Amino acid sequence: LNHFGQSREAMAEFERAKQICPTDSFARAAIANFNFNISTQRRSDPASQESCLRSAMQTYFGILEIDEQNCAASLGVANVLNEYGKIMESNEIYKLLANSEPDSLIGHHSVVNQGHIAMWHSNFDLAVNLYKSALELQPDNLKVSLFLSKA
């Protein structure tokens, strides 16, 4: 199977899990993440990208209606907002997640995304500090090392 075929199979499995247990936030977040990731691959087709982003956001909000403390869904909302260009709003969510989940993968992603936003705003000193913080959590993360070298 190619990567796309495997992704389609995984999506089908998550859809089946959602049918069996509609409140399963893991399966729902996986579906939303799948839609978000597809949206980033469809930037050249605004209508298709918008459809994927809207679906992802609706799913993330659905999860948060059931569990308002769900950090994975909150991270997803921040990522979608960021994709829409709502940088300040997404950065606020990233900050909250980084502070509430500092040693988790979600906290790590939040710090890295804050670094990206700092770079986008040409705040290189802040970006360096954020990427260094992310490397403290995952010292062997080559992507973050690359981001740090660019800052």
SS3 of the chain: CCHHHHHHHHHHHHHHHHHHCCCCHHHHHHHHHHHHHHHHHCCCCHHHHHHHHHHHHHHHHHHHHHCCCCHHHHHHHHHHHHHCCCHHHHHHHHHHHHHHCCCCHHHHHHHHHHHHHHHHCCCHHHHHHHHHHHHHHCCCCHHHHHHHHHC
Q: Are the beta carbons of 131 and 101 closer than 8 angstroms? A: no
Q: Please give the single-letter amino acid code of residue 117.
A: I
**Residue 93: its pLDDT value, please?**
95
* Six token digits for residue 10: 């995984």
In angstroms, the Cα distances linking 56 to 34, 36, 37, 149 are 8, 6, 9, 32
pLDDT in tens, 20-53: 666 678 778 888 988 898 898 889 999 999 999 9
**Residue 3: its pLDDT value, please?**
47
Looking at the predicted structure, is the pLDDT value of residue 85 above 70? Answer: yes
Length of the chain: 151
Average pLDDT, the chain: 87
The pLDDT confidence band at residue 17, using thresholds 50, 70 and 90, is: low
**Residue 123: its pLDDT value, please?**
94
**Residue 1: its pLDDT value, please?**
33
The pLDDT confidence band at residue 2, using thresholds 50, 70 and 90, is: very low
Looking at the predicted structure, is the pLDDT value of residue 111 above 60? Answer: yes
Q: What percent of the chain has pLDDT over 90?
A: 58
**Residue 102: its pLDDT value, please?**
81
